[in-house]
């Protein structure tokens, strides 16, 4: 298996055990050779290093002698709220780790540490840091062009997508964001919030799979003092934190059915009932949910409630895959080249015509995130001023043989046949209909004739994929 290169990044290890720090440094030198590792023995030293150095991720123990990791986390959140922080905890303090997530940590890992699992978690955390950095840069450079916070792209599908985001944001309705990994679903959720009339109110992002199932209900809805053993105080929960604002439930397809029932009540009644409370409590929260799962299949299998699915699907935003917006690949590539140049403090490099042709022909199963990593690797390992096709280091598994189509595995697992087939069919249908309606200027009758479909059949496809023909009219 080829090595998956990380961009040049820096992580900070914070722990009061010198042996653990030195052991982790040795482990990372082997498992994560492309990162720089800094260490701090306590919270004060960690905060000082955050001021001095450009840190991409913090791995910190919760219990460090007299130092409380949660208090240090609060101080980090005050100065760098977007920083990816992963907490280390013993098996007996899982509740503290969940409290850390509520206070802004991205994830946690339990001791004793399993080093391969920790390395995988750090890679995911660094990907998040890179994406947030990209989004920040895009907001500062691209907002005047796209007028949608954080997005870049001028292709026709993206212009249609921008209009859909704006319309959805203005409506105030529940939004379901669907799309493949790496397409920017979290960025889309934030854009919906920032373009709505709730923009000055809280935006709460909930990574549902990161919270253990037995704690998810209390974290979402809160609890009263004495509701269960260990509940020594009232806890308002994430929905109340988002009151009058927006809450985004990321990967909603993975939540248990018991929580789905309670979410249905929130959507129907606009109220929550905290654990241990006698009466429900009214709230004013806009729900945005995101998923890369096939919810229709989950409803058929019984793992996702059909009534909740239809409550969530008031407005659906389908994130375009990079293959669908291939016209934007030159623009995105130029942006990422400029970004990595500034990150590394190097002189400018350009893409050759041959390299650009290869990029535009690639299938991009990892979408925009994969393109960004390819550009970073090419910039780093190309010693010349012009990056040619041989410098791109595209994974042959995602290219395949000529005509092989999309990549049908993620990590080391092969995608099930039906899922792979559905993925190809959905991508083809969406791209075909976009091209068809672009050619006809949104004229459904003309599009039906050109495609040799009946008007009713074409309209059924448009409804299924939530495509509005009016958006293609001049």
Q: Mind listing the pLDDT tens digit of every residue in the chain (474 residues)?
A: 333 434 468 899 999 888 889 999 988 888 888 888 999 988 889 999 998 888 999 999 988 877 788 889 989 888 888 889 998 887 656 777 778 888 888 888 888 888 888 988 898 888 888 777 766 665 454 444 446 888 888 888 898 899 999 999 998 899 999 999 888 899 999 999 999 999 999 999 998 888 887 788 888 988 888 778 777 788 888 999 999 999 999 999 989 888 899 899 888 888 988 888 888 889 999 999 999 989 999 999 999 999 999 999 889 999 999 989 988 898 899 888 988 888 888 888 888 877 888 888 888 888 998 998 999 988 988 888 888 888 887 754 343 333 334 444 443 445 566 666 666 676 677 777 877 887 788 888 888 888 888 888 888 888 777 677 776 664
H or E segment to which residue 10 belongs: strand 9-14
Q: For position 422, what pLDDT does the model report?
A: 63
Q: Phi and psi (nearest 5°) for 261?
A: -60, -45
The residues facing 289 across adjacent strands are 176, 249
Q: For position 142, what pLDDT does the model report?
A: 42
Q: For position 407, what pLDDT does the model report?
A: 45
**Largest CA-CA distance found in the chain, in angstroms, rounded:** 75
Output the six-digit token pair for 104.
Answer: 């802004």
Q: For position 128, what pLDDT does the model report?
A: 81
Q: Identify how many contiguous H helices and E strands the chain contains and give both numbers.
A: 19, 18
Q: Which of 357, 359, 349, 365 is nearest to 392 (CA)?
A: 359
What Rg value do the Cα atoms of the chain yield, rounded? Answer: 23
């Amino acid at each position: 298996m080829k090595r998956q290169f990380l961009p040049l990044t820096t992580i900070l290890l914070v722990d009061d055990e010198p042996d653990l720090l030195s052991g982790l440094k040795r482990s990372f030198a082997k498992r994560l050779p492309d990162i720089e590792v800094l260490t701090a023995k306590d919270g004060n030293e960690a905060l000082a290093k955050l001021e001095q150095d450009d840190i991409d991720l913090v791995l910190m123990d919760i219990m460090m002698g007299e130092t409380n990791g949660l208090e240090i986390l609060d101080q980090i959140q005050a100065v760098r709220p977007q920083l990816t922080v992963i907490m280390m905890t013993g098996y007996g303090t899982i509740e503290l780790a969940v409290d850390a997530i509520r206070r802004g940590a991205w994830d946690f890992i339990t001791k004793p540490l399993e080093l391969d699992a920790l390395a995988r978690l750090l890679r995911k955390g660094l990907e998040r840091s890179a994406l947030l950095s990209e989004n920040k840069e895009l907001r500062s450079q691209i907002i005047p062009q796209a007028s949608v916070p954080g997005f870049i792209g001028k292709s026709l599908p993206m212009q249609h997508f921008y209009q859909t985001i704006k319309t959805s944001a203005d409506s105030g309705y529940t939004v379901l964001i669907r799309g493949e990994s790496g397409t920017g679903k979290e960025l889309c959720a934030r854009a919906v919030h920032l373009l709505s009339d709730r923009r000055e109110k809280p935006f709460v992002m909930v990574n549902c799979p990161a919270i253990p199932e037995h704690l998810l209900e209390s974290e979402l809805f809160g609890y009263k003092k004495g509701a269960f053993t260990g509940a020594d105080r009232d806890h308002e929960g994430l929905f109340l934190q988002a009151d009058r604002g927006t809450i985004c439930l990321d990967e909603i397809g993975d939540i248990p059915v018991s929580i789905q029932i309670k979410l249905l009540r929130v959507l129907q009644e606009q109220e929550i009932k905290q654990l241990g409370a006698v009466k429900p409590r009214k709230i004013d929260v806009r729900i945005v949910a995101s998923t890369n799962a096939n919810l229709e299949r989950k409803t058929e299998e019984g793992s996702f409630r059909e009534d909740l699915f239809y409550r969530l699907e008031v407005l659906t935003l389908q994130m375009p895959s990079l293959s669908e917006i291939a016209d934007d690949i030159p623009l995105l590539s130029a942006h990422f080249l400029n970004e990595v140049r500034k990150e590394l403090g190097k002189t400018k490099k350009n893409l050759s015509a041959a390299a650009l042709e290869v990029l535009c022909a690639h299938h991009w199963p990892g979408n925009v995130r994969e393109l960004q990593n390819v550009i970073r690797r090419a910039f780093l390992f190309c010693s010349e001023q012009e990056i040619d096709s041989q410098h791109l280091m595209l994974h042959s598994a995602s290219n395949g043989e000529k005509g092989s189509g999309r990549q049908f595995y993620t990590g080391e697992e092969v995608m099930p046949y039906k899922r792979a087939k559905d993925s190809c069919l959905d991508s083809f249908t969406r791209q075909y209909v976009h091209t068809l309606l672009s050619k006809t200027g949104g004229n459904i009758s003309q599009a039906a004739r050109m495609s040799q479909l009946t008007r009713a059949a074409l309209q059924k496809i448009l409804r299924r994929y939530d495509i509005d023909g009016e958006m293609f009219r001049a």
